[in-house]
Amino acid sequence: MWRERWRKREWRLTTRVALLAAATAGFVSISVIWMSSIFFRSAVRDEVLAHGREEVAEMRAYFSASARTPESFSDIALALQENHPAVRFSWMVWRNDGEIWGHFGEKKQFERAGPVDRISGLEDDLGGGFSWFTTKLTDDLAMGLLTNNSEQALVVEQFWLNTSTFASIALALSALGGLLIGRQAGHHLSEVAENVRSIDALDSSQNLSVGNLPVEIRNVVNALSDMLANIRSERDRVMVMTAGLAHELRSPIQNMLGSTEVALLRERDGDRYREVLGEQIQELRGLARVVDNLVILCTRKAAVESHECFDIEREARIRIERERRRADRDSIEIELKASGNLELEGDREAIMLALGNLVENAVYWSVPGDRVIVDLDGEADMIELTVDDGGPGVPESEREKIFEAFFQGATKSREHRIGYGLGLALTRDAVTAHGGVIRVEDSPLGGARFRLSLPRVPVAEFV
């Protein structure tokens, strides 16, 4: 239960920063103290051992040059003690059979140090600050030196105390510093949060204020500003799309309503009603294409959706035949020319949708008596499609913009409708997805020429 509560607990930034700073300081302090203590203890021990060996060697040298009596040993021990007053020396000498030859120095130290081994060549740390050194003194005597290094032990303990105190102070200061830094960062983030709440995403005049913020928080604010700009851009795109959709749907609906109302004003024969219904069918087909284009526009992807090998000439004849009905009604001729190998690999529906949109667009901008020429030319690695019309053409200033969805140009069609609709935007998407390019040029027929250059096989990076 407590674990679940711990997981669900809300953590404040100040708490996290303070804990992180304290943990870091604690880890560093403990590591430094541990390493320093090991080094310091090792240094003190090496000093004690070196000192003990030195005293034992001096005793052997002096005793060998003396009368070798207990009195001379005592005098040498007293002299060595006077030379090293910081360390208390206690000596024990015994014969080879174990009989004690004599005690010299502070005998009570042996009682405090406890029993010792009388084996020659020992260098033992007895604990409590005592060290025990043994060696051969003469052929029939051995000696042992008991050193009381309590002062060195006190130095080690004082070192532990000082470093522990330092670590505690460093830990407290680190936690306090982390708390202050966390509170300052939290204050800046709270200001950013209040600023974000006060911004109206739909009001382009309102922007997030960076101010005098730290670089890291400023980066967060900049990222939020970019996100806000994207939201506003998407809102504008949706508004343009909504307005364009209303424009695309309004005209055919009005045409259908107008022709229906006119047909019902008086009694007419069956042929006239069939003619009106035929016109309604054409308008409904146009509406269906608008809806299809809108669906594709909303779900479009910059990649080839499916792969198949197909003859673009055969497919083009089928799609163009659908446009001929409207063209014939308006006395517009559609001519298809084909040459070369027209086998293409890619998304058949996307390519044919692009071609159909261009042909429809050419018919839309032509006047009765005009021609629309569709030319398919298969080359070694490329297939080029061109669609020419005799309409008003595309001004230089609009030749890039017309591929934007719902762009409305300044030129009016023969039906006084403005804009190129959705078709050109989808056409560019389909061509780009195959790794091709689309260009707008002046047509020999007097209008616009749309030239599509497609690789015979889609470029790998677009697949």
- Please compute Rg for the chain using Cα positions: 50
pLDDT of residue 4: 59
**Residue 343 placed within a domain:** yes
CATH number of the domain at 125, please: 3.30.450
The answer to whether the CB of 55 falls within 8 A of the CB of 145 is yes
DSSP 449: E
Task: Answer left, alpha or beta for residue 331, where phi above 0 means left and psi between -120 and 50 means alpha.
Answer: left
Are residues 126 and 112 in contact, defined by beta-carbon separation less than 8 angstroms? no
The model's pLDDT over 184-199, given as tens digits with 9 standing for 90+, comes to 777 777 777 777 777 7
Confidence label for 417 from pLDDT (cuts 50, 70 and 90): very low
Work out how many domains the chain is built from and give that number.
Answer: 3
Q: Average the pLDDT over 124-145 and give the result.
A: 85
The yes-or-no verdict on residue 6 having pLDDT over 60 is no
22 located within any domain: yes
Q: In this structure, are 123 and 234 located in the same domain?
A: no
Report d(CA 190, CA 221) in Å as an integer.
Answer: 12
Dump the DSSP string for 139-176: SSEEEEEEEE-HHHHHHHHHHHHHHHHHHHHHHHHHHH
4 falls within a domain: no
CA distances from 219 to 190, 200, 208, 212 (A): 15, 21, 12, 12
Query: What pLDDT does 337 receive?
Result: 93
Closest by CA to 255, choosing from 326, 359, 332, 353, is 326
Same domain, 250 and 216: yes
Three-class DSSP category at 282: helix
The helix-helix angle for 270-299 and 348-365 (nearest 10°) equals 130
Residues 291 and 312 in one domain: no
Residue 264 has pLDDT above 70, yes or no: yes
State the Cα–Cα distance between residues 100 and 107, nearest whole angstrom.
Answer: 13
**CA distance linking residue 237 with residue 240, whole number of Å:** 5
Higher pLDDT, 264 or 144: 144
Task: State the Cα–Cα distance between residues 392 and 413, nearest whole angstrom.
Answer: 8
Give the β-pairing of 100-105 and 88-95.
antiparallel
Residues 320 and 294 in one domain: no
Question: Which domain covers residue 115, as residue numbers?
Answer: 12-155
Burial grade of 367 (CB within 10 A; 0-12, 13-18, 19 or more) = middle
Cα-Cα-Cα-Cα torsion 273, 274, 278, 281, nearest 10 degrees, comes to: 80
| pTM of the predicted protein model | 0.47
Helix axis angle, 423-433 relative to 348-365, nearest 10°? 150
- In the listed set 265, 280, 299, which residue is the last one of a domain according to the structure? 299
- Domain identity same for 248 and 101: no
Are 310 and 295 contained in the same domain?
no
CA atoms within 13 Å, Cβ hemisphere of 395: 8
By the 10 Å C-beta count (0-12 exposed, 13-18 middle, 19+ buried), 403 is classed as buried
**Rounded to an integer, what distance in angstroms lies between the CA atom of residue 94 and that of residue 221?**
86
The predicted model gives 347-365 an average pLDDT of: 87
Task: Say whether both 405 and 357 belong to one domain.
Answer: yes
Q: Are residues 410 and 345 in the same domain?
A: yes
Let me know if residue 384 belongs to a domain.
yes
Is 246 domain-assigned?
yes
What share of residues in the chain are helix, strand, coil (percent, to 5)? 55, 15, 25
Question: For 325-331, what is the mean pLDDT?
Answer: 81
pLDDT tens for each residue of 35-86 = 777 777 777 777 778 888 888 888 888 888 888 888 888 888 888 888 887 7
- Percentage of residues of the chain with pLDDT beyond 90: 11
Q: Tell me, what CATH number does 343's domain have?
A: 3.30.565.10
Element (H, E) at 36: helix 13-64
Three-class DSSP category at 130: strand
Quick check: 377 pLDDT over 60?
yes
Within 10 A of 453 (CB to CB), how many other CB atoms are there? 18
In a domain, 388, yes or no: yes
Give the residues across from 449 on adjacent strands. Answer: 388, 441
pLDDT, mean of residues 261-270:
76
Q: Please indicate, yes or no, whether residues 145 and 17 belong to a single structural domain of this protein.
A: yes
For residues 446 and 321, membership in a common domain is answered with: yes
CA dihedral 305→310→312→318, nearest 10 degrees, is: -90
Q: What is the 8-class DSSP label of residue 219?
A: H
Tell me, yes or no, whether 170 lies in a domain.
Answer: no
Strands 141-148, 448-455: parallel, antiparallel or unpaired by DSSP?
Answer: unpaired
Which structure tokens are listed for 259?
């022709």
Pair 365, 448: CB distance under 8 Å:
yes
Same domain membership, residue 286 and residue 310: no
- Residues 73 and 122 occupy one common structural domain: yes
Q: Which residue has the tokens 């499916």?
A: 306
391, with CB counted inside 10 A (0-12, 13-18, 19+), is buried
C-alpha to C-alpha distance for 290 and 203, rounded to whole angstroms: 31
**Residue that terminates a domain, selected from 299, 316, 349:** 299
- 424 located within any domain: yes
Burial 339-353 (b: 16+ CB within 10 A, else e): eeebebebbbebbbb
Give the rounded percent of residues in the chain with a pLDDT score beyond 70: 79
